[in-house]
């Protein structure tokens, strides 16, 4: 029989060592909406360590009982909670009140953690999670060091949420400061896109299916389109978003991960460093954008008032906590090139926006057209090129567009889809990204986390764009009405190359 009551009768695959998870920013949105629900679901699936505790740290005075009740509500608001399971799970939740700058608060935290080690059998292993505002990252890390909480008998790791810096200089500085406290191997920089099943499948799809790899290069691929379209607007995050914009919120991190996984070479092994080495190489090979490129190949815009799903919605400048003069972009499209042998001459087009009519994240590989001579000898017949579309979300799956003859006496060609749908094949919904990522961090597997050099390489590329934008500060941005397709300039970017964005 299992010595962990939460695991009894439940299947399990990989169970990390006993540990305490310490969440800084325990009263925040992320803890409520993602972290505690993910931990509860892991416990329900029997995947939590046999002995574990979760300590929420925040400034707001609260008892452990109150924290437990709040967390239960948070989980219930998303999902059904099984009473007996929750009752056992919550016995592992604790609350510790402290200012992040208060040295004595860390001393008391240390005592609490040692007590938990004795009472809960957590063996001195600690996973610290920075779910705070980014300006607290360095403060908390420094305090952990001062209190000696970054070392001890077991292992100590630090999970850092995004945004990881706001530009190259700040990302470097943050890396430097965090590495004074934790070794790089113990730093787990989160990008929740890597926790998505469909994103993890990119590597499997590319390297397990031997038929695609020979085609995955400039000889056969015309271009790649990576799209992340969202219907949502600010959802109460106006203040945060105004400081980051589409570039820092989505493109520099999530979209560059999608691009790296699509473009990387096969890793020498399926180990964290080999995979991350290959992703970094892609980033290094992206051609830096010149000032001219930035003018011609990067489009940014802001949504204005419009209508979505039959509802009138305000423009970005009218959103709460956004300055009416804000120059922050809510839409971004760009063309990048990867200067290596595999991708020479193949443009990668990226687009992302808020308040667009359809929700959808996908990577579309557009193959080159075959020779047109055969079907076109006597009369013009359109032969659409093949395309492979990896749908990251929603309706997760992969579609392959192939040409077929339309039944009938004349020669007409129609593109149809061969479609794999996760829902149809695997039946159940994939686990939330945070479940996988928390599990990996506890188990000490950094494969799905961002390495320090990865984040710096990505910033190096985008720093140039940010600097160029700095010079245009004050100039109003082009607008697109909420619920419409995005700015015309994004279409023009494609048209100039004789291409078009895919319809989502």
Nearest residue to ligand BG6 by CB is: 249
Q: How far is the CB of 483 from ligand BG6 (least distance, A)?
A: 17
CB atoms within 10 A of CB 260: 23
Tell me which of 223, 254, 352, 428 is the catalytic residue: 254
- Where do contacts with ligand BG6 occur on this chain (CB under 6 A)? 230, 249
To ligand BG6, the closest distance from the beta carbon of 255 in angstroms equals: 11
Q: Is 428 a catalytic residue?
A: no
State which residue, 133 or 270, has the beta carbon closest to ligand BG6: 133
Burial of 471 (0-12, 13-18, 19+ CB in 10 A): exposed
- Is the Cβ–Cβ distance between 135 and 127 less than 8 Å? no
Closest separation between CB of residue 230 and ligand BG6, Å? Answer: 6
Triad 240, 233, 335: Cα angle to 5°:
85
Provide CB contacts within 8 A for 405, sequence distance 6+. 411, 412, 413, 414
Please, which residues bridge with residue 126 across strands? 20, 156
Residue 88 CB contacts under 8 Å (≥ 6 apart), including other chains: 5, 6
Least distance to ligand BG6, CB of residue 296, Å: 27
User: Of 225, 207, 219, nearest to 265 (Cα)?
Assistant: 207
Structure tokens at 462: 């985008």
Please give the C-alpha separations between residue 446 and each of 86, 188, 275, 449, in angstroms, as whole numbers. 29, 6, 10, 5
CA dihedral 490, 371, 215, 404 (to 10 degrees): 90
Least distance CB 465 / ligand BG6 (angstroms): 19
Whether the link from the prior residue into 163 is cis, omega within 30° of 0, is yes
Closest contact distance (angstroms) between CB of 377 and ligand BG6 is 47
CB 328 within 8 A of CB 316: yes
Q: Cα separation of 227 and 251, whole Å?
A: 10
Q: Look at residues 471, 477, 436 and name the one whose alpha carbon lies nearest to residue 197.
A: 436
Residue numbers annotated as active site: 254
């Amino acid at each position: 029989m299992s010595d962990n009551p939460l695991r009894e009768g439940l299947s399990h695959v990989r169970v990390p060592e006993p540990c305490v998870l310490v969440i800084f920013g325990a009263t925040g949105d992320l803890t409520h909406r993602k972290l505690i629900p993910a931990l509860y679901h892991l416990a329900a699936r029997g995947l939590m360590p046999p002995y574990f505790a979760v300590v929420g740290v925040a400034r707001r005075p609260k008892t452990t009982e109150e924290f437990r009740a709040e967390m239960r509500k948070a989980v219930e608001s998303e999902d059904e909670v099984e009473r007996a399971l929750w009752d056992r799970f919550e016995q592992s939740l604790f609350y510790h009140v402290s200012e992040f700058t208060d040295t004595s608060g860390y001393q008391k935290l240390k005592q609490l953690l040692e007590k938990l080690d004795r009472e809960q059998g957590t063996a001195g292993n600690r996973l610290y999670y920075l779910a705070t505002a980014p300006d607290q990252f360095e403060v908390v890390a420094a305090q952990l060091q001062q209190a000696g909480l970054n070392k001890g008998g077991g292992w100590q790791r630090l999970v850092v949420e995004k945004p990881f810096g706001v530009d190259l200089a700040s990302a470097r500085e943050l890396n430097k400061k965090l590495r004074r406290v934790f070794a790089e191997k113990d730093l787990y920089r989160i990008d929740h896109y890597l926790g998505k099943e469909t994103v993890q499948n990119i590597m499997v799809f590319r390297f397990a299916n031997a038929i695609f790899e020979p085609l995955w290069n400039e000889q056969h691929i015309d271009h790649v389109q990576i799209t992340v379209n969202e219907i949502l607007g600010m959802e109460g995050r106006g203040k945060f978003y105004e400081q980051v914009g589409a570039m820092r919120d989505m493109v520099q991190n999530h979209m560059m991960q999608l691009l790296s996984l699509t473009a990387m070479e096969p890793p020498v092994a399926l180990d964290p460093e080999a995979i991350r080495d290959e992703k970094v190489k892609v980033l290094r090979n992206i051609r830096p954008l010149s000032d001219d490129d930035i003018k011609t190949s990067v489009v940014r815009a802001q949504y204005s008032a419009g209508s979505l799903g039959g509802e009138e919605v305000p423009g970005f400048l009218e959103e709460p906590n956004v300055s009416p003069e804000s120059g922050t972009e809510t839409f971004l499209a760009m063309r990048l090139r990867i200067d290596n042998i595999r991708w020479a001459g193949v443009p990668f087009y990226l687009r992302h926006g808020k308040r667009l009519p359809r929700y959808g994240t996908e990577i579309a590989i557009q193959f080159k057209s075959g020779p047109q001579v055969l079907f076109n000898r006597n009369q013009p017949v359109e032969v659409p090129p093949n395309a492979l579309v990896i749908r990251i979300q929603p309706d997760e799956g992969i579609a392959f567009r192939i040409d077929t003859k339309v039944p009938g006496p004349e020669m007409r060609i129609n593109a149809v889809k061969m479609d794999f749908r996760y829902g149809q094949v695997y039946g159940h919904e994939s686990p939330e990204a945070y479940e996988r990522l928390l599990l990996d961090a506890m188990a000490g597997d950094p494969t799905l986390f961002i390495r320090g050099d990865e984040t710096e390489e990505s910033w190096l590329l985008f720093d140039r764009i940010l600097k160029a934008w700095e010079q245009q500060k004050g100039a109003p941005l082009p607008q697109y009405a909420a619920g419409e397709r995005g700015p015309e300039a994004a279409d023009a970017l494609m048209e100039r190359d004789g291409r078009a964005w895919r319809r989502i």
